[in-house]
Amino acid sequence: MNGNREKVAWALIVFIGIGLALPVLFGKHRIEKDVTPGDPWRDAIYDFQTLITGLAAVGAAYLTIRQSQSALALSREIEQKSELRHRQMMALTLRADRLKVSRSVEPFLPAIIQAIADLKSIISRTGLEDVGSQMQFAAEVENFANAIAQIIGNPQMKEAYELFEGKLAIDLDDAIRRARNLKAEAHTVFLEIRTRSGQALETVGNPQGSIKTMMIHAMLFEGCLKELRDGLDGLASLYLSEATALKMDI
């Protein structure tokens, strides 16, 4: 587009130049009373000096604009190249961080999401009227808490620990502590029910206060895992632009 405009402008200048030169070279001399015609170029310059000055000013303005446009285009090109180099350097700098985040998030986030669903099932468990179901339930909760504690306590989980925001780091430590607490509480409940059942079966009926306490620990653990899930999902969104968000509304 700019090339076509430039061609039109030069064609217009040539046309005007030819239009002025032809009358000067081949036109009749200007005849005035008591004035002898002089050199045709001198007469032309004298007669059209205002026009020539105006055209010179227009030409100078045109050249100034062209130089400004060229300088602006060069500046934009330099800026674009600088931005590209900056992005490339940032990509190289973040490559190691992205790898750490990938190793810390992608293997564990799906397991945390599943653990939240499992905790919902644990919290809403019913049919714990007899000793056998209560002991089996306590054993299941202990095994579950132990498995999750091993997952979120895995050293690979902390490869990107220095990239965790303050809240995410706290959430991870809190979730590990809650998992251990739930495991210990479930083990205590299992031993307590077994001890009571060995003494007198009729003393163990509906879920006792110890089971309710275990349920409270499970609810607290669920809240910690949700916070941890959201934090890891945000970290993945920040560093892994092409990663699919694994957060689910559970």
% of the chain beyond a pLDDT of 70: 73
Contact in structure between 240 and 103 (CB atoms under 8 Å): no
* Whether this model's pTM surpasses 0.85: no
Phi first, then psi, for residue 228 (nearest 5°) are: -65, -40
Q: Which of 5-9, 112-116, 140-144 has the lowest mean pLDDT?
A: 5-9
Q: Mean pLDDT across the stretch 28-37?
A: 57
pLDDT value of residue 150: 92
* Topology at the third CATH level for domain 96-239: Four Helix Bundle (Hemerythrin (Met), subunit A) (1.20.120)
Positive/negative CA dihedral, 174, 180, 185, 186: positive
Read off the pLDDT of residues 219-242 as tens digits, 9 standing for 90 and up.
Answer: 999 999 999 999 988 888 888 765
pLDDT value of residue 248: 36
Q: Which pair of tokens denotes residue 166?
A: 């303050």
More confident residue, 27 or 78: 78
pLDDT bin (cut points 50, 70, 90) of residue 28 is low
Read off the pLDDT of residues 65-77 as tens digits, 9 standing for 90 and up.
Answer: 878 888 888 888 8
Q: Is the pLDDT score of 141 beyond 80?
A: yes
